[in-house]
Structure 1
Amino acid sequence: MSQNDQSQRFLFDNSDVRGEMVELERSYAEVLAKHPYPQPVAELLGEMLAAAALLCGTLKFDGLLILQARSSGSVPLLMIECSSDREVRGLARYDAESVKDGAGLHELMPDGVLTMTIDPKNGQRYQGIVPLEGANLAECLSGYFATSEQLPTRFWLNADSRHARGLLLQQLPADRLKDAEAREASWQHVTALADTLTAEELLGLDNETLLHRLYHEEDVRLFDGQPLVFRCSCSRERSANALVSLGQDDAERLLGELGGEITVDCQFCNQRYLFDGNDIAQLFAGGGSAAPSETRH
């Protein structure tokens, strides 16, 4: 298997269907390295990471895609961000004592809700919310598109704490096949073949081999891969802006309550930003936040 984290698009020449494949290893490892996730949580987080990367590959926008799942269970939050530059980060909140070995989606996230947010740099923010229904995350996402006005879309996702892989198929507007029955038959054919994929095949085969195994009787064009990387968007400046948004009185009150130093932690990457009294005074005097104060020890 390729060691390069990437998404890769493919097209069926004789039907109105396109696909996307994602393979994540290094970026997945970097996400998992930030917290001691139990295996079931790590695997679910990997599936959601692959799903977000697949979705970014199908959208034409400049901005951020956010997948967020919430529940009342042992995993109250899963959150993945994938930018249009294919930079990903993710986190999960969990109760380690109640996470059981081998637990699946509905054991970890009962009564869950899935939210997909598209936040373009220019333009209107879009958000869709659906229940986490289905046997697994792939079925939940497929159901999300089935109940929306989007094009019919199916997902296949797997992760094993080392690799996270995903396959997406999407029906395109009528072009090569104008007849409705022929379009439906073609869609059912390509999705039925994808349903034969085992977890071992999806996790273990390179993209070209996987496509050949599924669709060797079809004319399929595989495009060049697009790299994916882990990158956190946190910064000292953004942390400072969050403190400024509190207002000077509240920031100074918080500084006193915390013994003269405010710590802002990034939940995604565990980076820590420290602000003392001189930093806070500098912020509200308009001096900026590019570097810690000279009194920092």
Structure 2
Amino acid sequence: MPESTPEPVNGAEIVTEFVRHRNVMLVRGDLGPLFVDYYLHLADHQLKPAPEHDRRFKQALAAFALHCASRPRFEHLAWTISLQDPRLNLFLAGDNEDCTVAGRIFTENVREAPQNVFYADLMPRRGAEKRRSVVNFDGPDLFRAVEHYYATSEQRPARYFDLGDDRFAMLVSHPDCDERWLREVDLAGVKAVAEHETVAHIERRAYRWNCGCTQQKILGALAPAARQDLGGLFGGEESIHVQCPRCAAAHILTREAMEAFLAATKK
């Protein structure tokens, strides 16, 4: 019989596996397709982050995508990473129902603080109450920041590895974890883990870039301000340019569209 054709992957393929006898979950994947989507998004909306900011966002995006893949289905997650040097916020949002991620860089009105701050928000399912963890951290390395979040908030060790060529891996402990092995395994050991350890496949997911922002959603977000002071919101203009707070996508809102939205949603 002819060999079956592999199922096409729509997005960045991330595979989760279990390292038996070490009781560690291994999450790894080629995030190149996700990075391509991110850069197409920047080009579509004429966004040009500084190279240093872009490099940090890519590292955060890689860490976040692997984190999402390690979490249960139906969860909705968000990280806000507030850095002091350089002064910027990195925001990331993930939807594990649809396996999508998005995010943006904030460089304006970033609050000064004594330390970097890591905010992790979790919604177990759509519409559920959100839970937040807040952790301070030092240093510019975002992989180390996430590892510190795991140790402090999740209270279990995790490690991140850059495997090269846009491939990344994450190790995270499970009950009865061999913590010594988890602490001591190096990059070469992670690359060759299947040669030296017993690894069982758990799941494959394909993550893609998608915020889901629409003009209707942006109108809804601005509706409370418009109801209070429509003229002040538009400043005498017939249209305004608005960035999505989740992905920085550009939206043009007309006064006429806002008035129609307010009329349609009037209680």
| TM category, shorter | 0.7 to 0.9
1:118 to 114, 118, 122: 122
CA apart distance, 1:79: 1.0
Aligned to 1:148, what secondary structure does the other structure show?
A: helix
**Higher strand content, 1 or 2:** 2
1:166 to 152, 157, 168: 168
Give distance in 2, aligned partners of 1:71 and 1:26: 27
Give distance in 1, aligned partners of 2:51 and 2:166: 13
1:244 corresponds in structure 2 to 223
Aligned to 2:264, what secondary structure does the other structure show?
A: coil
User: In angstroms, what is the RMSD of aligned CA positions?
Assistant: 2.9
Give distance in 1, aligned partners of 2:10 and 2:257: 43
The answer to whether the 8 Å contact 1:47/1:166 transfers is no
The answer to whether the 8 Å contact 2:137/2:148 transfers is no
2:6 corresponds in structure 1 to none
| TM superposition score normalised by structure 2 | 0.79
What runs of 5+ residues in structure 1 fail to find an aligned partner? 96-108, 175-182, 198-209, 289-297
Give distance in 1, aligned partners of 2:258 and 2:107: 33
Relative distance call for 1:241 and 1:221 in structure 2 (3 A) is: same
2:56 corresponds in structure 1 to 44
The answer to whether the 8 Å contact 1:232/1:269 transfers is no
Give distance in 2, aligned partners of 1:44 and 1:165: 16
Q: What is the letter of the counterpart of residue 244 of structure 2?
A: C
2:69 corresponds in structure 1 to 57
Deviations 1:242-271 (A, max 9, x none): 23211424123323x142223323252533
Give the percent of matched residue pairs that are identical in Structure 1 and Structure 2: 17
1:86 corresponds in structure 2 to 99
Q: What is the letter of the counterpart of residue 93 of structure 2?
A: E
Deviations 1:80-104 (A, max 9, x none): 1111122011211348xxxxxxxxx
Deviations 1:18-54 (A, max 9, x none): 1111321222133234122333222211111111111
What runs of 5+ residues in structure 2 fail to find an aligned partner? 1-8
- Please give the residue correspondences for 1:60-209 in structure 2 after superposition, counting only pairs within 5 Å: 60-84=72-96, 85-94=98-107, 111-119=115-123, 120-134=125-139, 136-157=141-162, 164-174=166-176, 183=177, 186-193=178-185, 195-197=186-188
CA apart distance, 1:111: 3.0
Relative distance call for 1:282 and 1:151 in structure 2 (3 A) is: same
Aligned to 1:20, what secondary structure does the other structure show?
A: strand
Relative distance call for 1:110 and 1:189 in structure 2 (3 A) is: same
1:279 corresponds in structure 2 to 257
The answer to whether the 8 Å contact 2:161/2:187 transfers is no
CA apart distance, 1:9: 0.5
Q: How many residues align?
A: 246
Aligned to 2:119, what secondary structure does the other structure show?
A: strand
Deviations 1:126-185 (A, max 9, x none): 1111123256211121111212353332223478xxx644321122123xxxxxxxx5xx
| TM superposition score normalised by structure 1 | 0.72
Give distance in 2, aligned partners of 1:263 and 1:38: 22
